[in-house]
Amino acid sequence: MSVNPMAYEAQFFGFTPQTCMLRVYIAFQDYLFEMMLVVERVILKKLESFPDCKISPFQIRKSTEKFLLFMKERFDHLFSKMEQMLLQLVLNIPKNVLLPEDKVQEQYPYSKEQFQTLQSEIDQLQKQYKVEVSARQALLAELEEQKMVQAELEKTLQWFDGLENICREHGTSNLKESFAFLTQTSKKLQDILKEVEKKNKRLQKSNLHVV
């Protein structure tokens, strides 16, 4: 069998020419073996008509194997010549023939150096793309964070609006005055709470004396 890979032919046919020849060889060989078995059975059948014949089936098998070996050697010799002819004249694509899918290489030829330069540019573009994707993801994350901050600011503004409305209801429109009003109100509430706690303690003491 030929050792030439014949890759261009494999691209065109969809299989390597060597694979094709191997299958043809196996098919012929199988046919040869089957034919010899048929011949052997015919001989054994004929021998049944001659009871006095001293040739045994074992001897027939030995003779069949020898003849098969002889035929196989002849077949291998002839097949080798046929294979060489088919690989050179039938399953071979001439060097000056270009397949349709490779026409673009003829229109835009590239040297090895140009191809390497183009490959380097592609690698650089891929790296830039990855950097841009990472930057975009970072910007999206920052945008989400800004949305959360904006939502918190809106809540704060709503709180201030509510505070301003409460202050207006109490006759206070200035923010500074509003905080002063809240401070005074808080102080009054604390004083009331302390007074309530004192009264609560007095009541508890009174209840103890009564008991």
Average the pLDDT over 1-26 and give the result.
80
149-191: pLDDT as tens digits = 778 777 776 776 676 676 666 665 555 566 666 677 667 777 7
Output Rg (C-alpha) for the chain, integer angstroms.
51
- Over 90: is that where the pLDDT of 27 sits? yes
Considering the chain, what percentage of its residues have pLDDT values greater than 70? 74
In angstroms, the first-to-last Cα distance of the chain is 121
Residue predicted with more confidence, 205 or 137: 137
Cα 151 to Cα 157: distance, rounded to the nearest angstrom = 10
Cα 142 to Cα 140: distance, rounded to the nearest angstrom = 5
Query: What pLDDT is recorded for position 177?
Result: 62
Residue predicted with more confidence, 119 or 194: 119
90-149: pLDDT as tens digits = 888 887 777 777 776 666 676 778 778 888 999 999 999 999 999 888 888 888 888 887
Query: What pLDDT is recorded for position 206?
Result: 60
- Over 60: is that where the pLDDT of 208 sits? no
Contact residues for 167 (Cβ-Cβ < 8 A; gap 6+): 173, 177, 178, 181
Estimate the crossing angle of helix 175-210 against helix 112-169, to 10 degrees: 60
Contact residues for 65 (Cβ-Cβ < 8 A; gap 6+): none
Contact residues for 110 (Cβ-Cβ < 8 A; gap 6+): 118
Query: What pLDDT is recorded for position 79?
Result: 92
36-52: pLDDT as tens digits = 889 888 888 888 887 77
